[in-house]
Structure 1
Amino acid sequence: MLELIPDLPDNLVGVIAKGKVTGHNYDAILIPIIEDKINSHGKVRLLYQLGEEFEGFDLQALWDDAKLGVKHFKAWEKVAIVTNLKWIRHAVQMIGFLIPGEYKIFENHQFNEAKAWVCS
């Protein structure tokens, strides 16, 4: 499931992944809000935390994530990924050079730092 983080600047989408993240979560929550922010601001910032309660993605969520990134390739202004999961950290590092905006990876204990960075 994806839980929206409240009280963020208008050009910033914040989500916390908990349990199993599904394609339905992307279709119902993340994709509409990202597209709304892009339509309003031209670019979007993303704060995405995969914390201790995160259990994984289903295949549709992985596919939707890839499609979202490609569809709005130049719309990512700043992306902060917050996780202790090594496989996620390595995956982001491997594809990070493809992201036209700024991106940074933080550990879960650095959530406030990540939030401050992506808001600045």
Structure 2
Amino acid sequence: MPLIYSEDDSTKTAMITVSGKITKEDYDSAIAPIEAFISKHGAINFIEVIESFSGFDPSIILPGLKFDFAHVKHISRVAVVSDIGWISPLAKAAGYFMATKLRMFDLAALDEAKEWVRSSA
């Protein structure tokens, strides 16, 4: 599965790992649990690990934007973890439009990313 979702109640941290192409089914399988996690905790932290990325189903663009607008105010910190070169500038540009604290990490620094995100708990 190209998208794996996990969560940690003790630190209010949700994590998605991406490997490959994201389908509509992958997206749908992660959104409901994330929304439930936000509802449960009010504010959460988020880690997105991008191991590899070969695109996404275009039908998730609009739902993804709606999710972002509705829930970004409930996400305190975001760590984006990837060695893919173009991910960092894209994530940093998106970060300028959000009140959420966003930081980039290399894959080798995943543990550091987890510590940074969870340090706000």
User: Cα deviations across residues 67-108 of structure 1 (Å, max 9, x unaligned)?
Assistant: 221121311111110011122211111121111121111111
Pairwise CA RMSD: 1.9
> Could you tell me whether the CA contact under 8 Å between 2:11 and 2:118 is conserved in 1?
no
Structure 1 position 76 matched with structure 2 position 90: no
Q: How many residues align?
A: 118
Alignment of 1:1-120 (within 5 A): 1-5=2-6, 9=10, 11-29=12-30, 31-51=31-51, 53-120=52-119
Question: What TM-score do the two structures reach when normalised by structure 2?
Answer: 0.84
Cα 1:61/1:13, change in 2 over 3 Å: same
Q: Which runs of 5 or more structure 2 residues have no equivalent in the other structure?
A: none
User: Cα deviations across residues 37-66 of structure 1 (Å, max 9, x unaligned)?
Assistant: 111111121111001x43332223444332
> Could you tell me whether the CA contact under 8 Å between 1:80 and 1:103 is conserved in 2?
yes
Identity %: 28
Question: What TM-score do the two structures reach when normalised by structure 1?
Answer: 0.85
